Structure 1
Amino acid sequence: MSDPVTLHDIYLARSRIAGQAARTPLILSQSLSARFDAEIYLKLETLQPSGAFKLRGALNKIASLAPEQLERGVTTASTGNHGRAVAWASKRLGARAIICVSELVPANKIAAIEALGAEARVIGRSQDDAFVEARRLVAEEGMALIEPFDDPLIAAGQGTIGLELMEDVPELDRVLIGLSGGGLLGGIGRAVKGINPKVHVTGVSMLEGAAMIESLAAGKPVEVEEEASLADSLGGGIGLDNRCTFELVREVMDDHHQVSEAAIARAMLHFFEHEKMLVEGAAAVGLAAIEEHGIDVRGEKVALIISGNGVDAETLMRAKTLIDYPAR
């Protein structure tokens, strides 16, 4: 079986999205580097025009569609950030977009989708429920389905982050990546290991509703009940008919940690108070894993993927109530 995503695919994606998605900064965190006796770098996907890494994959996929497909429009199911990315890319490329979301998606993320000119359609209690409506739109209205993760073009787009990491820190030792459907981790993992197989790829999920980890443990894609979390962008299933990311993640991920809501909250508040950044829970799980599991990164060059900024004041206040946040 050939690789669903190759290093060459990722280079092609970079060419396709150039000038639209941002080449985001990689900055050294002085506070985290001092705390963990390592070089801790932050990859700021929060600075994408849509506010999250998802724009890379969405642009790569939509830009590959034929003109007649663009005219019929595109649709997807999303926990928020992918929907914003599809809305942004569709507006840029002149396509109508309907974004199907579940009731668990925060109101601020729905508003952000609508602000970009797309229709947000709220369906059911899970991403799987929302996908039923998206697939109906494909079958009955001829819209093109833009998968959130399980598509080689989507994963290749996200993999362009890995190319940038290796260019900016050629001696990178480890990258910690939020793990949900696997497009982000799979794409980045393929890129960094394609350049240097010794780079250690660590995936991070929340404690409840971690579909990819449950699936890997079972040896096949399985259904997992979705749970509310500060890391809501990591929610959703991987699809029982997963064609790409299950095998990709199994191949490129070296280890994995699950983190508590309190650990996610502490990490979010660190970024707010010490890095002066507003980041969503899914963007903070790398730091949460290092803190909660005592990952020994001493002497290493480490990248944390700060994946998105889709957080509102209410969620940040809820994070603060979860913990007794110590002054540092």
Structure 2
Amino acid sequence: MTRPVTLHEIEVAQKQISAHVLRTPLRASLALSERAGVAVYLKLENHQRTGSFKLRGATNAILRLDQGRRSRGLITASTGNHGRAVAYAAKALGARAMICMSTLVPANKVEAIRHLGAEIHTAGRSQDDAMLEAEHLVRQKGMYFVPPFDDAAVIAGQGTLGLEIASDLPKTAVVLVPLSGGGLASGVAAAIKGRRSSARIVGVSMERGAAMAASLAAGVPTNVQEVETLADSLGGGIGLDNRLTFQMCRDLLDDVILLGEEEIAAGIHHAARIEGETVEGAGAVGIAALLARKVKADGPLVVVVSGGNIDPVAHRAIVDGYQSGEAR
């Protein structure tokens, strides 16, 4: 079994990427604190340079490559935010980037990646299809593959978010973290529990096609059908040959919460109308879990708001539609 990522590796990653990523704010939410009965704070990764936490892991992974590997070009498969992070980091370091995505990736995320100068390949209707295309292109073109989640450097980079939480709020009792492939959840859990072993880490995902949640329930990595959801960034499989994130999520997560589409819409609406934050569905799941009263805490609680890369037209429709009782 592969050794899990350690607190030391996350601390090393923090030093390596500090000049390339923002230390995002941890802001108190009076409305959610009143709702939860404990102090609630929002870790606002939607303020990150590429609009999501993904820049942390991608930057750490790419910085660890020597110039020879970078010069071959970088390639990945993505539901949008990881691709944008790889494209951004590649451009900053003068490397070529190619991003493989399925037709389920929202157009605004595709355009943001194209704007950064990356080459885009569209393949199939799932993240698994995009991954197969990326693997084919790696063999064909000899480029270096930057994994979206199941990679020690990526996990360590994402874990730097947890170090910031532990530093800013040492008495954190509960952290709600979006759960998809598990790179963010496992990295944050390793960092937080490494600094405060009593803290509870709760993964939050959608009911529609949550691969890691299904895998944890089954006890082994499991395939699920990827379908459209407001939390599109949480879609995709974890890989039947998963090496790291399944094991780490199994060992470090204290609970997993699943949400319906209406609940996710409520989270997006609350973020916009009450918190003044534009948040995508995947980034709103922690807020949604609190609004749905699916979380219990006996001390300070942190909600990881993982990203804000939502199409403006879709965002307005969700916020206005929910306000009028017509959200879907």
Give me the identity figure in percent.
49
Q: Residue 308 in 1 paired to residue 307 in 2?
A: yes
Q: Say whether the 8 Å CA contact 1:265–1:322 is kept in structure 2.
A: no
Structure 1 runs of 4+ aligned residues shifted over 6 Å read none
Q: Residue 236 in 1 paired to residue 236 in 2?
A: yes
Q: What is the match of residue 260 of structure 2?
A: 260
2: CA distance, partners of 1:83 / 1:292 = 31
Greater CA drift, 80-89 or 305-314: 305-314
Q: Residue 271 in 1 paired to residue 271 in 2?
A: yes
Q: Residue 282 in 1 paired to residue 282 in 2?
A: yes
Aligned-partner SS, 1:42: strand
Q: Say whether the 8 Å CA contact 1:102–1:126 is kept in structure 2.
A: yes
Unpaired segments of 5 or more residues in structure 1? Answer: none
1: CA distance, partners of 2:102 / 2:320 = 25
Q: State the Cα deviation string for residues 228-287 of structure 1 (Å, max 9, x = none).
A: 011000000001111110001001100011001001001101110111110000011011
Q: What is the match of residue 225 of structure 2?
A: 225
TM-score, normalised by the number of residues in structure 1:
0.96
Q: What is the match of residue 88 of structure 1?
A: 88
How much has 1:42 moved relative to structure 2? 0.6
- Shift of the 292–35 alpha-carbon distance from structure 1 to 2, 3 Å rule, reads closer
How do residues 96-107 of structure 1 correspond to structure 2 at under 5 angstroms? 96-107=96-107
2: CA distance, partners of 1:142 / 1:15 = 30
Letter aligned with residue 303 of structure 1: V
How much has 1:323 moved relative to structure 2? 4.0
1: CA distance, partners of 2:295 / 2:133 = 41
How do residues 1-328 of structure 1 correspond to structure 2 at under 5 angstroms? 1=1, 3-297=3-297, 299-320=298-319, 323=322
Aligned-partner SS, 2:292: helix
Q: Say whether the 8 Å CA contact 2:172–2:302 is kept in structure 1.
A: yes
Letter aligned with residue 103 of structure 2: E
Aligned-partner SS, 2:75: strand
Aligned-partner SS, 2:49: coil
Letter aligned with residue 221 of structure 2: P
Unpaired segments of 5 or more residues in structure 2? Answer: none
The number of residues matched between the two structures is 325
Q: Say whether the 8 Å CA contact 1:266–1:325 is kept in structure 2.
A: no
1: CA distance, partners of 2:146 / 2:231 = 22
TM-score, normalised by the number of residues in structure 2:
0.96
1: CA distance, partners of 2:232 / 2:310 = 10
Aligned-partner SS, 1:147: coil
Q: Say whether the 8 Å CA contact 1:279–1:308 is kept in structure 2.
A: yes
How much has 1:106 moved relative to structure 2? 0.3
Aligned-partner SS, 2:35: helix
Q: Say whether the 8 Å CA contact 2:2–2:244 is kept in structure 1.
A: no
How much has 1:38 moved relative to structure 2? 1.5
Q: Say whether the 8 Å CA contact 2:269–2:322 is kept in structure 1.
A: no
Letter aligned with residue 140 of structure 1: Q
2: CA distance, partners of 1:155 / 1:172 = 21
How much has 1:37 moved relative to structure 2? 2.3
Letter aligned with residue 241 of structure 1: D
Q: State the Cα deviation string for residues 114-169 of structure 1 (Å, max 9, x = none).
A: 11111121111001101111111211211111110000110000000111001000
Q: Say whether the 8 Å CA contact 1:262–1:322 is kept in structure 2.
A: no
